[in-house]
Structure 1
Amino acid sequence: MSQLAMILAAAVALLTTRVSDAGTWRNVVTNAPGSVQLMILLSDGTVMCSDGGNGAWYKLTPDSTGNYTNGSWTTLSSMNYTRRYFSSAVLRDGRVFVAGAEYGTGTTNAEIYNPLSNTWTPVPVPPGLITTNNNPVATNKFQNTAGFSDSSSIILPDGRVLIAPVNPAAGVSTVTYNPYANSWTSNTVLGNQNEATWVKLPDDSILTIDKSSTATERFIPSLNQWIPDSNTPANVYGVGAELGPALLLPNGKVFFLGGNTNTLIYTPSGTTNQGSWVAGPPIPNGQACPDAPAAMLVNGKVIFACNPLGIPGTTFPTNVSFYEYDPVANSYTRQNSPTGGLTETNIAAYQTAMLCLPDGTVLYSDETSQVYIYDPNDSPLTAGAPVINSITWDPGGSLHLTGKRLNGISQGASYGDDEQMDSNYPLVRFGDGNGGLYYGRTYNWSDTGVMTGEKVVTTEVMPPWSRLLTPGPYPFSVVVNGIASFPAALNAPTWVDYNYSGPFEFGSYVFPYNSLAEGQDDVPTGGTIAMKPGVSPEALTLTRAMTIVSVGGDVTIGR
C-alpha cells in the first residue's frame, strides 16, 4: 500500500462517520475493578471513574484502535478523602479539581489530581467561605450538613472554577478557586443554588434556575457577578427540590429536563440583556429526571435517562427509561435500555451517569462494575467539526495547535448539581501508520467556552511518541465531544538520544541516532530533530535550516 493510501485509510478511521439511525447499546467487555459512578474524560483520551463513595478511582484506556468497548482498566491513586456527589472539573492544564461531598469525609475540603504523577494534592480552603461544623445526619445515610456538600461547579474563561457551596459561610453564595494562584474568592448570587443545574452559554455566561423557583439568573465572568434573567413559564423542580440535566443545543438554545415532567427551552440574548423561555415538550409517559444524566450526541440529539415521577416520600422511584430528544422535531424517541428491554429495573436515574467519548459514543454507568456504551449510529454534525489551522513545534518538544471550534457545541454531558463531567475541550488523536489510533495529551487550552465559532483558539499537544513507531507522516485529528476535524498530517521528527547504545540507529523513537551529527545528516531541510534528555560534548555547525527540540527534559550539547 502506498504511503498516501495508508494516510487516507487512517483518515477514514479518524473521522468515525456513522450512517444508520437506530442507537444501540453494548457492554464494555471487561468489568471495572469496582463499581463506577461519576466518569471524567481526561485530556489524553482516557476516562477516570469514581467508585461513588470510597475514594477509589479507576481508569479506562481505549485499545490500540481507539475503541473503548475493548478498553482496559487500571486502578488509580485514591483521593485523600471519601466523596459521594461532589464538584468536579478538568482544569485547563489537564489536572482534575474536586471539592465537597454530600456523603463522605470530603465536604469541607478540596483536592487536585495530577494524571502525570497519579497523585492527589489537598487544596486548603480558607476560613470564611464555607461552614465547617459538620454533623452528618445518621437517619439520612449520614448526609453532610456543612461545607461544599454536593455543590455545582464550572470552569470560567480564565481557568478559575466557579462553585456553589450548599452550606456557605454568612454573606457568601458562590466562590471561585484559582488553580494557578491557589487562591479563593467569594461572590454574591441572587437566589439559592442548592440543587441547581448550570449551563455554559456561547457568550461565556452561566445560566441557572434558582432552587424550587421560576427565577433565573446568569453569572457574567467579565463582570464577576450574577445578574437576573427572565422568569420561566413553569417550575421544573420536582419532589425533594430535585432538578434534571440541561444542555446547550446546536441551535443555540438551552434544553432543561425537569425533576418533574416539565421541560424548558431558553433562548439567550447574547448580551447581558435577558433571554426568553418557552415550555418544552413534557417528558413522555409521566417520567421525570430528578438528578439524572443526559448527553449531547454527535448528531445533535440528546440522550437522557429518567424514571417515574416521584411522590412525597419517594423522590427517586426505580426503573430507568431512556429517550432521545430531537431539537429539530422537538420530539422524543424511546430507546432500549443497556440491559435489554425498555427499562433498566431496580435502580433510579440518580444512580446513573453518562459521559461523551471522543469516538462519538456515550459511556454509561449504573453504580456497578459493568459499564455500557451507547452508539447513536448516526453521522456527526458538520457544523460541530473542529478545524485545524496550523501545528508547530514548541521548544519543549510538544506541539502548538491552532484552529477553530475546538471546544464543541455544548459541555458534552450533564447531570445537575451532584456530578459534573464537562468535556468541551480539544483532544488530539494520531494514526500510527499501522492501523492504530492513539491520543496525545492536550493542555493549556486557550478557551473553555462553547460554540466558539470562527474564533481562533489554541492548545498544546504532547503526541504519544512511544506509539508512533513508523517513519510517518502521521495523520491526526482534533476531536471534541465525539466530532472530529478533517485529518491533517504530522511529519515524523528525526530522533536523537545521547544515552542510546543499541545496535540499530534509524532516527526513529525506538531506534534513535546517538549523536546530533547523525541527526543533522538525516533530517531534511526545514525538518525537525527531536532530542531525548541527555548531555554530550559534541560540537558541530548546523549547515541548513532545521528545528531542534528537546522532548521529556533538558538536553545539553557541547559540554
Structure 2
Amino acid sequence: MLLAWQGIAGAQPVPRLKGLPPKKDASVRKSTPALAPGSPWQLLANQPPVLDYTDCGPGNPILLTDGTVLLADNGCQDWWKLTPDEFGSYVNGTWTQLASLPDGYSPLYHSSAVLPDGRVIIEGGEYNFSNGVFHAVWTDQGAIYDPLANTWTLVAPPPFFGGFGPFPRTIGDAQSVVLFDGTFMQANCCTDQAALLNANTLTWTQTGKNKFDINDEEGWTLLPNKKVLTVDAYVGQYDPTGMNFELYNPASGKWSSGGAGTAVQLWDSAADCGGSGFASFEVGPAVLMNDGSVFATGANACGAAHTAIFKGSWKAGPDFPDDLGIADGPAALELNGKVLMMASPFIFQTPSTFLEWDGDNLTEISPAPNASNDSSFYGNMLVLPTGQILFTDFFFVSVYNPSDTYNPAWAPRIQSAPVRISPGGSYLITGHRFNGMSQGAAYGDDQQSATNYPLVRITNNTTGHVFYSRTHDHSSMAVAFNGLVSTHFDVPATQEPGPSQLVVVANGIPSAPVALTVE
C-alpha cells in the first residue's frame, strides 16, 4: 500500500491499498484445476478445511520447528496445522484446527517469524477483518503463538511507534526479520521506525536510526555478514528514478545508504505512465542465494519490471518478459540453488506466471494450479524439510517439486549428536550450517516465511516411519554461517524404538545421517 496522508510529503492524494483476497464460493473447490502430465506441481491430497473460504482463504504458511506447517485462514482469526504422514509426505498430510487469534485481531498482510525458542510471532496487518468486512487500519496489534500450549497471546506494540492521519500508532503491512543472534526486529510500515523484541519480557527497544525513507513497501534480506539489506521504495519522497538501497548494522543499530545504487530501478515509480499519482511504490522479493548473491525482483506499472543482483555491489539482472513483475509476491530458494518466483502483469493484475532464476537465466516454467486466476500478491511460498516448495494462493495448497539435487557443500554437518535417545527426552546437537545458506523464501514487504533454523528428522530403520523432534533455543540464526551452532531437540513421545537414522535439515537440505538407537 501507499501512504498518502497529511504530513507525508510527495505521496498520492489518497491511500493506495493492496487488493483483498478474491471472493470465492463452493464451486471453486469443485473445479480443482487439472495439471499437465509431468507437471512439477502437486495439489495436496487434503485441502485445508478453512472456515471462511468466501472472504479469507489459505495463506501465510509458517514452518514450525517440529516439522509441521502453520497456515492462516488468511485475514480471519482461524489457524490450521499441516502434519506430514508417517512417511514424511506433506502432500498426503492431515490438517488440525489450532487455537484462533484473540478477539479483535484478524489481520491480513502482516509480518511473521519463527523465534529461536520455537514460538511464532505475527505483527500488524494492513487490514483487520470484523463483521464480515476488511477494514484498512494498519493495525499495531500483534500476537505470539506457543505451539506447546496451543495458545495465542497478544503482544503490546512498541510504545514509541508513531502513525499517520487518524492512526496515531501503526505497524501495518510491515517487514520483519530474525537477526543472526535470534533477536526479532519489526518495522513500522508507516514511519522510518523499527524495534527489537525481548522475547522473554515481550518488551521493545528502538533501533534503526538514520533510515533514508519510511519503511513502507520495502523488504528485508538477512545477509551472511549479519547485516540486513533493503531496497528503498521512496514512499513519501518520490523520485522517479530513485535507486537507493540501505544496510542495517545490528552492531550499531543504524542504517547506512549503500552508495552507487541498485543499477536498475526495482520499485514502481510509474515514471513512464503517469508519475507519482499512479505509482504503487511496490517492489518484489529479494532472495539470498547459495553463492552469497541476492536476487532482487522489481515491479513496474508501465511494463516489464527489472531484476538486479547484489553481492557487495549491484549489477542489472534480466528484465521480466511480457510486462511481468512482482508487485508483492513470493519467491523461494530451491534445494538445487535456483530461485522460484511468481509474477503477474503490471500491478496487481492476473494471470500469474512462474519463473526460475538459475544464476544466469530467467526462465518461465510450468504454472501452478489456478495460476490463470491469480495475481502474484495472492501467493505465498514456504521451503519444506523435504525440499519441496509449499505454495498457497487463497484458493488451494500445492507443492512444487524442484528438479536436480543439492550441492553437499550447502548441507548441514553434524559434529556431535547422541547415540541413544528415549521418547520424550531432550538432547543437544551441534554442527555447522545448521541454519542453511539463506532465509529460504521471501515476499515483498510482509508475510515472511523464513526457514533459517535447524530441524531434526529421525527415521526408523525397520518401518521407514519419519518423526520430527521439536528444536528450540538455537545458538545462532545466522545464514551461510561456518561457525559451530547448537540446538536442543525434544523427541516426541510417539517415537518408535529401535535403530534409526537422524539428520539435521535446513531449507530442505539434510545433513549426512548419523546412526542412533531409540530405547
Same fold (TM over 0.5): yes
Shift of 1:177: 1.4
Question: Residue type matched to 2:437 in 1?
Answer: I
Shift of 1:146: 4.9
Contact between 2:111 and 2:175, CA under 8 Å: does it hold in 1?
yes
Describe the shift of the 1:126–1:326 C-alpha distance in structure 2 as closer, same or farther (beyond 3 A): closer
Shift of 1:132: 8.5
Q: Which runs of 5+ in 2 are unaligned?
A: 1-37, 51-56, 130-137, 235-241, 269-278
Q: Name the structure 2 match of 1:242.
A: 282
Shift of 1:473: 2.4
Rounded Cα–Cα distance in structure 2 between residues aligned with 1:413 and 1:440: 23
Rounded Cα–Cα distance in structure 2 between residues aligned with 1:148 and 1:125: 8
46, 53, 59: which one aligns with 1:30:
46
Contact between 2:244 and 2:258, CA under 8 Å: does it hold in 1?
yes
In the TM superposition, what are the counterparts of 1:251-400 in structure 2 within 5 Å?
A: 251-260=291-300, 261-268=305-312, 276-308=313-345, 310=346, 315-327=347-359, 330-339=360-369, 344-368=371-395, 370-392=396-418, 397-400=425-428
Shift of 1:413: 0.6
Rounded Cα–Cα distance in structure 2 between residues aligned with 1:233 and 1:324: 21
Rounded Cα–Cα distance in structure 2 between residues aligned with 1:326 and 1:128: 43
In the TM superposition, what are the counterparts of 1:167-182 in structure 2 within 5 Å?
A: 167-168=190-191, 173-182=193-202
Q: Name the structure 1 match of 2:108.
A: 84
Q: Which has the larger radius of gyration?
A: 1
Q: Name the structure 1 match of 2:90.
A: 68
Describe the shift of the 1:160–1:133 C-alpha distance in structure 2 as closer, same or farther (beyond 3 A): farther
Shift of 1:182: 2.0
Tell me the alpha carbon deviations over residues 379-399 of structure 1, each in whole angstroms, 9 at most, x when there is no partner: 122121100110248999311
Rounded Cα–Cα distance in structure 2 between residues aligned with 1:83 and 1:146: 16
Which secondary structure does the structure 2 equivalent of 1:383 belong to? helix
Contact between 1:295 and 1:355, CA under 8 Å: does it hold in 2?
yes
Rounded Cα–Cα distance in structure 1 between residues aligned with 2:46 and 2:226: 39
Which secondary structure does the structure 1 equivalent of 2:329 belong to? coil
Q: Name the structure 2 match of 1:524.
A: none
Shift of 1:233: 1.6
Describe the shift of the 1:317–1:132 C-alpha distance in structure 2 as closer, same or farther (beyond 3 A): closer
Tell me the alpha carbon deviations over residues 222-241 of structure 1, each in whole angstroms, 9 at most, x when there is no partner: 22221221212221112401
Rounded Cα–Cα distance in structure 2 between residues aligned with 1:53 and 1:381: 39
Contact between 2:307 and 2:318, CA under 8 Å: does it hold in 1?
yes
Contact between 2:330 and 2:381, CA under 8 Å: does it hold in 1?
yes
Describe the shift of the 1:279–1:46 C-alpha distance in structure 2 as closer, same or farther (beyond 3 A): same
Question: Residue type matched to 1:62 in 2?
Answer: P
1:130 matches 2:144: no
Superposition TM-score, scaled by structure 2 size = 0.81
Rounded Cα–Cα distance in structure 2 between residues aligned with 1:326 and 1:126: 40
Contact between 1:255 and 1:263, CA under 8 Å: does it hold in 2?
yes
Tell me the alpha carbon deviations over residues 238-290 of structure 1, each in whole angstroms, 9 at most, x when there is no partner: 2401111111111111110101310011112xxxxxxx111011112221011
1:415 matches 2:443: yes
Rounded Cα–Cα distance in structure 2 between residues aligned with 1:417 and 1:374: 23
Structural RMSD (CA): 1.9
Rounded Cα–Cα distance in structure 1 between residues aligned with 2:201 and 2:164: 23
Question: Residue type matched to 2:255 in 1?
Answer: W
Rounded Cα–Cα distance in structure 2 between residues aligned with 1:463 and 1:397: 5
Tell me the alpha carbon deviations over residues 60-90 of structure 1, each in whole angstroms, 9 at most, x when there is no partner: 1100000100000111111121100011110
Shift of 1:436: 0.6
Question: Residue type matched to 1:419 in 2?
Answer: Q
Contact between 1:133 and 1:146, CA under 8 Å: does it hold in 2?
no
Q: Name the structure 2 match of 1:436.
A: 465
Contact between 1:242 and 1:259, CA under 8 Å: does it hold in 2?
yes
Contact between 1:296 and 1:412, CA under 8 Å: does it hold in 2?
yes
207, 216, 219: which one aligns with 2:248:
219
Rounded Cα–Cα distance in structure 2 between residues aligned with 1:280 and 1:351: 25
Contact between 1:23 and 1:377, CA under 8 Å: does it hold in 2?
no
Contact between 1:411 and 1:423, CA under 8 Å: does it hold in 2?
yes
Question: Residue type matched to 1:51 in 2?
Answer: D
Question: Residue type matched to 2:335 in 1?
Answer: V
In the TM superposition, what are the counterparts of 1:409-488 in structure 2 within 5 Å?
A: 409-433=437-461, 434-453=463-482, 455-468=483-496, 470=497, 472-488=498-514
Q: Percent identity?
A: 37
Rounded Cα–Cα distance in structure 1 between residues aligned with 2:127 and 2:389: 27
Question: Residue type matched to 1:278 in 2?
Answer: K
Rounded Cα–Cα distance in structure 1 between residues aligned with 2:141 and 2:156: 7
Rounded Cα–Cα distance in structure 2 between residues aligned with 1:146 and 1:353: 27
Rounded Cα–Cα distance in structure 1 between residues aligned with 2:166 and 2:224: 38
Question: Residue type matched to 2:379 in 1?
Answer: T
Contact between 1:207 and 1:217, CA under 8 Å: does it hold in 2?
yes
Tell me the alpha carbon deviations over residues 185-214 of structure 1, each in whole angstroms, 9 at most, x when there is no partner: 112223222100111100110000111431
Question: Residue type matched to 1:43 in 2?
Answer: T
Which secondary structure does the structure 2 equivalent of 1:473 belong to? strand
Which secondary structure does the structure 2 equivalent of 1:345 belong to? helix
Q: Name the structure 2 match of 1:153.
A: 176
Q: Which runs of 5+ in 1 are unaligned?
A: 1-21, 136-144, 269-275, 494-559
Describe the shift of the 1:287–1:133 C-alpha distance in structure 2 as closer, same or farther (beyond 3 A): closer
Q: Name the structure 2 match of 1:40.
A: 62
Which secondary structure does the structure 2 equivalent of 1:285 belong to? coil
1:184 matches 2:184: no
Question: Residue type matched to 1:178 in 2?
Answer: N
Tell me the alpha carbon deviations over residues 22-44 of structure 1, each in whole angstroms, 9 at most, x when there is no partner: 87011100110112111000000
Contact between 1:237 and 1:243, CA under 8 Å: does it hold in 2?
yes
Rounded Cα–Cα distance in structure 2 between residues aligned with 1:206 and 1:267: 13
Rounded Cα–Cα distance in structure 2 between residues aligned with 1:285 and 1:406: 39
Rounded Cα–Cα distance in structure 2 between residues aligned with 1:465 and 1:126: 39
Rounded Cα–Cα distance in structure 1 between residues aligned with 2:475 and 2:354: 36
Q: Name the structure 1 match of 2:429.
A: 401
Moved more, 31-40 or 157-166: 157-166
Rounded Cα–Cα distance in structure 2 between residues aligned with 1:227 and 1:181: 30
Contact between 1:323 and 1:335, CA under 8 Å: does it hold in 2?
yes
Which secondary structure does the structure 1 equivalent of 2:70 belong to? strand
Contact between 2:425 and 2:491, CA under 8 Å: does it hold in 1?
no
Question: Residue type matched to 1:86 in 2?
Answer: H
Describe the shift of the 1:397–1:279 C-alpha distance in structure 2 as closer, same or farther (beyond 3 A): same
Superposition TM-score, scaled by structure 1 size = 0.76
Rounded Cα–Cα distance in structure 1 between residues aligned with 2:220 and 2:363: 25
Q: Name the structure 2 match of 1:489.
A: 515
Which secondary structure does the structure 2 equivalent of 1:217 belong to? strand
Shift of 1:466: 1.2
The alignment of Structure 1 onto Structure 2 pairs a total of residues equal to 439
